Amino acid sequence: MTQLVRDAVRAAIAAALDDAQQHGALPRLPGAEIAVERPQKPEHGDYASSVALRLAGTVKRKPLDVAQAIADSIQTGPLIDAVEVAPPGFINLRLSPHWKREQVNDILADPHAWGSIDIGHGQKLQVEFVSANPTGPLQVGNGRGAVLGDALASVLAAAGYNVEREYYVNDAGTQVRVFAETLHVRYQQHFGRDVEVPAEGYQGRYIVDLAEAIAADVGQQYLQPEGAPPPPSDQPDPLATEGLRRMLDQIRADLGLLGINFDQWFSEASLLSPRDALDGRSVYDTAMARLREGGHVVEKEGAVWFASSSDDDKDNVIVRSSGEPTYFATDIAYHFDKFALRRFDRVINVWGADHQGHVARTKAATAAVAGAANAQAEHGLEMLLYQLVHLRRGGERVRMSKRTGELVTLRELVQEVGPDVTRYFMLERSADAQMDFDLELATSQDPKQNPVSYVQYAHARCASILRTAAAEGLDAPTPESTADVQLLVEPTEIALIDAMLRLPELVELMATKLEPHHLTTYALELAQQFTQFYGACRVVDPSAPDRSRARLKLTRAAQIVLARALGLMGVAAPDEM
């Protein structure tokens, strides 16, 4: 776990501000927020604060004077080496190079800890993502949610949360019924019966394949007598169950190809079955009872509605006039389960932007149904929306729909370009950015020109240098090594250390704002800094063994941090390419 350097810098400035007021260099002020940032230009130091610019107005002094008064009181020491004031009123701080070099030893001391911080305090946090209906294979668009959710979960774990990854399996409701009907038709067609897929059924080829695979394995055992009426929907349907099981297996395998594994596959249908812990009632019934008791339910027009107390939303139907619950109703029960029964402190649902209209009502309903049992239900639910992926093939837009059956599956994409490129590409853009995925471009892309290979190459090169050093008989850069990191004085060496030092604060930023896409930019910059160091500094040099051993430590540290950045993205960190 790493204490954030920025916080130490901020504390030093706060103390200086306090000190300047005590000595009368500045008038008494109400507590001001101290903004600390990383300047873009190296000549502006490692950290900068604009606090003087903000205060100048209220104390009616020139910004530069205020900055100077604060700067004069900043204590330099082992961490802060120099303080400068720059127009129009910035305070620029430089960290001690000696301290920076020592951080290399810290990175080596606990390779798995670098980049881990503790803003989560072990709070129980769930990231729910993908959650695509198990009525068809995953699409390219699902891949974006998959990659985003998985990287976010990794980032939050690095930030000190106790993270669970969950996939909500919609194995109940309308879509499953349509899936079952279609599957029955295809299954019967396989045995030569003259039946048609209903108009609202799934037209896709994959469901024919599924029916044939089942028929090949089990024969005719699910065949109903010819012309028999369809079984009532509340009866178990062995063919549908088998079909769903196989679809889920395929989804699980597809996600496995991307290196994504869930802790929990949560069944929607399980919300409807009785539970001993709830006195034999289902989660669904319990949640609905809570809603009624809380006065959140109104009945009108023959249906049951969730009465919104928020201005953002209107009333929404939870039980249709037909008596059937809506998707929203089971969703309320699901979130009741998350907060009231499983007691998560925070839940982040990663949703496609087409679900934007559900955000307000789901939050309101969650607070209403679970707020009494778990206060976190009031504000602990957040939705991370990602814009949908538009596929193109050349200039042509590819329309996707499970129902019409024109599909570009995630599996096809991953098999074509590989999991690492898929993940990196999906992660490169912010969730808010619309994304065009040109299949022609993606599949023809020269791997040599891919940013992900560049980063992986830097990692592999670290490994290669370490191998060469071992062959030359130089001792390994272990934490016990007596190599002196203070010999790292070249500009490219310090720049590389600077890049490594940024990771903990980046993790904090990503975890706070739920923005894992910064990882790609960071990984690229880190790889560039390493490559520049490599170009400027000979590491394995028998004529200068002490310096070689110091640079080996730096190389090993760079490998560790590159591996961590790649690991958070879920991208492989190979020792050879």
Partner RNA sequence: GCGCCCGUAGCUCAGCGGAUAGAGCAUCAGACUUCGAAUCUGAGGGUCGGGGGUUCGAGUCCCUCCGGGCGCGCCA
Q: Which is nearer to RNA, 190 or 390 (CB)?
A: 390
166 bridge partner residues: 128, 264
Q: Which of residues 532-551 bind RNA (CB under 7 A)?
A: 532, 534-535, 537-541
Residues 69-88 that bind RNA (CB under 7 A): 86, 88
60 binds RNA (CB under 7 A): no
Q: How near is the Cβ of 440 to RNA at its closest, in Å? A: 12
Residues binding RNA: number (CB under 7 A): 87
Cα within 13 Å of Cα(508), Cβ side: 17
DSSP letter (8 states) at residue 282: E
State the CB neighbour count (10 A cutoff) for residue 213: 14
Single-letter amino acid, residue 211: A
Structure tokens at 569: 């993205």
User: Do residues 477 and 555 make contact, with C-beta atoms less than 8 angstroms apart?
Assistant: yes
CB of 545 to RNA, least distance (A): 13
How far is residue 91 from each of residues 26, 501, 555, measured CA to CA in Å? Answer: 16, 21, 33
Contact 49, 12 (CB under 8 A): no
Residue 456 to residues 205, 289, 533: CA-CA distances in angstroms?
A: 38, 54, 16
164-183: which residues touch RNA (CB under 7 A)?
170, 173-175
Gap between the Cα atoms of 557 and 499, Å rounded: 11
Stretch that binds RNA, among 11-19, 31-39, 104-112, 275-283 (CB under 7 A): 31-39
Pick between residue 108 and residue 526 the one whose CB is nearest to RNA: 526
Q: Of 330 and 376, which CB lies nearer to RNA in the complex structure? A: 330
List, in order, residues 6 or more apart from 351 with CB less than 8 Å away.
145, 358, 359, 383, 384, 385, 386
Name which position in 1, 15, 23, 37 contacts RNA (CB under 7 A). 37
Nearer to RNA, 119 or 373 (CB): 119
Which of 25, 373, 388, 572 binds RNA (CB under 7 A)? It is: 388
Q: Which of 4, 8, 509, 572 binds RNA (CB under 7 A)?
A: 509
Instruction: Return the residues of window 346-365 that contact RNA according to CB under 7 A.
Output: 353-358
Residue 245 CB, shortest distance to RNA, in Å, is: 18
Q: Length of the chain, please?
A: 577
Q: Which of residues 242-281 bind RNA (CB under 7 A)?
A: none
Interface region with RNA, contact rule CB under 7 A, candidates 139-147, 231-239, 338-346, 424-432: 424-432
Strand duo 297-300 + 303-306: pairing: antiparallel
CB 275 within 8 Å of CB 285: no
Do the Cβ atoms of 477 and 108 come closer than 8 Å?
yes
Calpha distance 415→108 (Å, rounded): 36
- In whole angstroms, the minimum distance from the beta carbon of 183 to RNA comes to 17
Is the CA virtual torsion 37, 41, 42, 44 positive or negative?
Answer: negative
Q: Does residue 461 belong to the site contacting RNA (CB under 7 A)?
A: yes
Could you count the other beta carbons within 10 Å of the beta carbon of residue 498? 16
Please tell me whether residue 315 binds RNA under the rule CB under 7 A.
Answer: yes
**Exactly one of 426, 524, 550, 565 binds RNA (CB under 7 A); which one?**
524
Q: Does 62 bind RNA (CB under 7 A)?
A: no
Examine residue 465 and tell whether it contacts RNA (CB under 7 A): yes
Which of these ranges, 52-60, 273-281, 339-347, 374-382, lies near RNA under the rule CB under 7 A?
Answer: 52-60
Question: Which tokens is 256 given?
Answer: 């496995």
Contact between 41 and RNA by CB under 7 A: the answer reads: yes
How many other CB atoms are there within 10 angstroms of residue 452's CB atom?
25
35 near RNA (CB under 7 A): yes
Nearest distance from C-beta of residue 218 to RNA, angstroms: 28
Instruction: Say whether residue 5 binds RNA (CB under 7 A).
Output: no
Distance CA 385, CA 349 (A): 8
Taking CB under 7 A as the rule, does residue 316 contact RNA? yes
Taking the least distance from each CB to RNA, the nearer of 317 and 341 is 317
Q: Tell me which of 221, 235, 322, 543 binds RNA, using CB under 7 A.
A: 322
Complex with RNA: residue 85 or 215, whichever CB lies closer: 85
Q: For the beta carbon of residue 157, count every other beta carbon within 10 angstroms.
A: 20
C-beta of residue 510 within 8 angstroms of C-beta of residue 516 = yes
Residue 320 near RNA by CB under 7 A: yes
Distance CA 142, CA 139 (A): 5
Q: Give min distance, CB of 221 to RNA, in A.
A: 29
CB of 212 to RNA, least distance (A): 26
Closer to RNA by Cβ: residue 407 or 537: 537
Q: To the nearest whole angstrom, how small is the minimum distance from the Cβ of residue 135 to RNA?
A: 9
CA–CA dist 114, 106 (Å, integer): 8
Nearer to RNA (CB atom), residue 147 or residue 215: 147
Q: Name the 3-class secondary structure at 258.
A: coil
Asked whether 536 and 490 are in contact (CB, 8 A), the reply is yes
* 162 vs 531, beta carbon nearer RNA: 531
Q: Is 447 in the site for RNA (CB under 7 A)?
A: yes
| H/E stretch holding 507 | helix 503-513
Provide the mask over 287-306, with x wherever binding to RNA is found by CB under 7 A and - wherever it is not. Answer: --------------xxx---
- Stretch of residues binding RNA (CB under 7 A), selected from 115-123, 224-232, 288-296, 320-328: 320-328
Two structure tokens written together for 406: 């024109």
Can you tell me which of 326, 376, 481, 559 binds RNA, judged by CB under 7 A? Answer: 326
Pairwise CA distance, residues 475 & 375, whole Å: 55
